[in-house]
Chains A and B, each alone.
Chain A
Amino acid sequence: MAILEARGLQKTYPKAKTPAVADVSFAVAPGICFGLLGPNGAGKSTTVEILEGVLRPSAGEVLFKSEPIHAGASAKRYRDQVGIQFQSTALQEFLTVRENLRFFAALYPKIRSEDELIAVCRLEEFLDRDTLKLSGGQRQRVLLAIALINDPQIVFLDEPTTGLDPQARRNFWELVRGIKAEGKTVLLTTHYMEEAYELCDEIAIMDHGKVIASGSPQSLLAKHFNDSVIELPSEEAAALMDRLPFTSRGELSELTSHDVAASLDQLRAMGVSLARLRIRPRTLEDLFIELTGKALRA
């Protein structure tokens, strides 16, 4: 049974000509990491806010353990059982990390122990620091701890690693894996396809307010691609453009191939040096561009 289910969600903002969310339905199984991907303006933030219970849909419903989340008493129960890390959130200023944790803890009837939370999110080093003086990665860890403070069954992470350096991002991934290992369900939105591939068991790709593909990253890649990508620096590929269907992607140009060995033979025969050539499998980024026609950070 799904822990969270979106059924025919629609949302149209006042004065908007087109709906932000046109028709979204999917189910999230318990204990998995579910990724919601889409280009800017695809409607994923609105969808997530509806799922979080922060926004009401214009039509459709969200069920949490088969109960509608936007209705009276179940709305309150839902709030007690979900954890949310918003994309950008300020904290109470001039308070330390520990004081912020205690403040949020006081708002919930059931809470996780402070020591456990500190250990899970690795907050020890900066526990008594003013939240205004935290680095981006530290801040995201505090926000994650606040999202986990009520020991939720499902955690929403809305672009949690945007703006973080690669090391901080990878550290954050470890925390998310730890949360998953505890059996919690994670709903993640991200701009980083690598992140989605690393963390998500299932993904849904949205565009124009609708889900256009869903499934596990591996099954989606297998369904849409049976080829590999040969990459060459664009200055070398330029001379081959009239003979081979290279696609320019900035500094690199790509050639897709169903038979890599044959393509390599062909390139060698044309006198192409293989020293700077790279072969890679298809990625979620390729899938994303294939389905939406847009680069992710466009």
Chain B
Amino acid sequence: MNFNFKRLAAMTIARSMEFLRDRATLSWNVLFPLLTVAGFAWIFSGPQQPLFKVAVLLPQGTTLSTELHPFLAAPSVQFYVEPNGADAQAKVTRHRIDMALDFRAEPARYLINPESQKGSALETLLRGTGGTPLQREEASGQRIRYVDWAAPGILGINLMFSCLFGTGYVIVRYRKSGYLKRLNATPLTAAEFIVAQLLSRLVLTMLVTTVVFAGSNLFLHYRMEGSYWLLGLITAVGSYSMIAMGLMVSARVTSEELAGGLLNLLSWPMMVLSGVFFSIDGAPKAVVWASQVFPLTHLLNAARAVMLDGAGLASPAVATPLLILVACAVTFTLLGAIGFRWTQD
């Protein structure tokens, strides 16, 4: 294979300089996630909106109905059946849901996270509905603030946009402006060009994310139970898989409008379904399955396992999503490289 590291280095450096000198884009890449994290921290420290999600553990042979408890008719609350008690507890602890109702226990009980303001509001609502009093229990384990749960998601969407658009949109712009055609007339190979784009974006994304994480950590003091190195590895692999996804989309597209549409088609469902702002527990099975398609879902699952639970590399909570991310990265890179075209023809 005709691969020259001098040419690769030249292309990587040129692309990185272009990004770093585009001050408007660079500022936005740093400011956007900082503002979002700060905004979320502020929003969730104040009064809550009455939108709640509650898991219900049912005894065998029963269905979800108000016969069990009048609270199950409460407005603005989504009740769903959770089969596993341990899972329900973990989700309450991590703010993925606001409360769990356990009708299998004798006496029946409810589980809340005292750190959750939504949980406290639900508790008040529960007491006001009458019916058989339920026993209060607090979720065991260390209490997690909402911002600890949401921060990886917010940093994750910044990564997602930066990787997808920073690679996909830029390559389409290069193609449309004739720059790729010019490069094709030099000895630079497609492999060198592609690797340079991937490398440049990966290094810059990691740098920007580290700055944003460290900067926001100064005032939000994120919970970090696991290893920073492992979190870095997960971020790098996750970022790479999304950069490769951007490459795959841009491999042949010649219109910036089409590229923008395709990238939005990927990024918006990924943002909604990957558990960035809220958990999709209780959503229809098809939606839960669909969420597994996106690299961001696995990136966030692994990152939260490290940050909130202190999981290590050997833990299935980290190893499984990491392997899926590696598979995504390899698949997207191969598809992008095979489909890549220099020119519009």
Which positions in A face B, CB cutoff 8 Å?
13, 52-55, 76, 79-80, 82, 84, 86, 88-95, 99, 103-104, 106-109, 146
Q: Which of B181, B187, B345 contacts A89 (CB 8 A)?
A: B181
Q: Which of B10, B177, B184 contacts A103 (CB 8 A)?
A: B10
Inter-subunit contact A106/B345 (CB<8 Å) = no
Q: A93-B18, A106-B10 are in contact. Are A84 and B185 (CB under 8 A)?
A: yes
Cβ distance B194 to chain A, nearest Cβ, rounded Å:
15
Give the number of chain B interface residues (Cβ < 8 Å). Answer: 27
Inter-subunit contact A54/B181 (CB<8 Å) = yes
Inter-subunit contact B7/A107 (CB<8 Å) = yes
Cβ distance B103 to chain A, nearest Cβ, rounded Å:
62
**Contacts of B187 on A, CB cut-off 8 Å?**
76, 79-80, 107-109
Interface: B285 (CB within 8 A): no
Inter-subunit contact B182/A89 (CB<8 Å) = yes
Inter-subunit contact A107/B17 (CB<8 Å) = no
Cβ distance B61 to chain A, nearest Cβ, rounded Å:
64
Cβ distance B219 to chain A, nearest Cβ, rounded Å:
32
Closest 6 CB pairs of A and B: A90-B177, A106-B10, A94-B21, A90-B179, A107-B186, A89-B182
Interface: B60 (CB within 8 A): no
A52 to B184 alpha-carbon distance, docked (Å)? 11
**Contacts of B15 on A, CB cut-off 8 Å?**
92
Inter-subunit contact A86/B14 (CB<8 Å) = no
**Contacts of A86 on B, CB cut-off 8 Å?**
178, 181-182, 185
Q: Across the two chains, which residue of chain B brings its CB closest to A85?
A: B182
Inter-subunit contact B174/A95 (CB<8 Å) = no
Which positions in B face A, CB cutoff 8 Å?
2, 6-7, 9-11, 13-15, 17-18, 21-22, 174, 177-179, 181-188, 343, 345
Inter-subunit contact B14/A103 (CB<8 Å) = yes
Cβ distance A31 to chain B, nearest Cβ, rounded Å:
22
Cβ distance B57 to chain A, nearest Cβ, rounded Å:
58
User: Looking at A84, A93, A104, which has the most chain B CB atoms within 10 Å of its CB?
Assistant: A93
**Contacts of A13 on B, CB cut-off 8 Å?**
345
Q: Across the two chains, which residue of chain A brings its CB closest to B192?
A: A107
Q: Which of A54, A94, A103, A109 contacts B185 (CB 8 A)?
A: A54
**Contacts of B7 on A, CB cut-off 8 Å?**
106-107
Known: A91-B179, A106-B9. 8 other contacts (CB 8 A): A55-B345, A76-B187, A79-B187, A86-B178, A94-B17, A94-B22, A95-B21, A107-B183
**Contacts of B22 on A, CB cut-off 8 Å?**
93-94
Cβ distance B16 to chain A, nearest Cβ, rounded Å:
11
Inter-subunit contact A79/B185 (CB<8 Å) = yes
Inter-subunit contact B6/A106 (CB<8 Å) = yes
Q: Which of A76, A79, A99, A109 contacts B17 (CB 8 A)?
A: A99
Inter-subunit contact B178/A90 (CB<8 Å) = yes
Q: Across the two chains, which residue of chain B brings its CB closest to A93?
A: B18
A53 to B21 alpha-carbon distance, docked (Å)? 34
Q: A54-B343, A55-B345, A106-B10 are in contact. Are A95 and B182 (CB under 8 A)?
A: no
**Contacts of B184 on A, CB cut-off 8 Å?**
54
Cβ distance B147 to chain A, nearest Cβ, rounded Å:
36
Inter-subunit contact A108/B186 (CB<8 Å) = yes
Cβ distance B192 to chain A, nearest Cβ, rounded Å:
9
Q: Across the two chains, which residue of chain A brings its CB closest to B15?
A: A92
Q: Across the two chains, which residue of chain B brings its CB closest to A53?
A: B185
Q: List 29 A-B contacts (CB under 8 A).
A: A13-B345, A52-B185, A53-B185, A76-B2, A79-B185, A80-B187, A84-B182, A88-B177, A88-B178, A89-B178, A89-B179, A89-B181, A90-B178, A90-B182, A92-B15, A92-B17, A92-B179, A94-B17, A95-B14, A95-B17, A95-B21, A106-B9, A107-B11, A107-B183, A107-B186, A107-B187, A108-B187, A109-B187, A146-B182
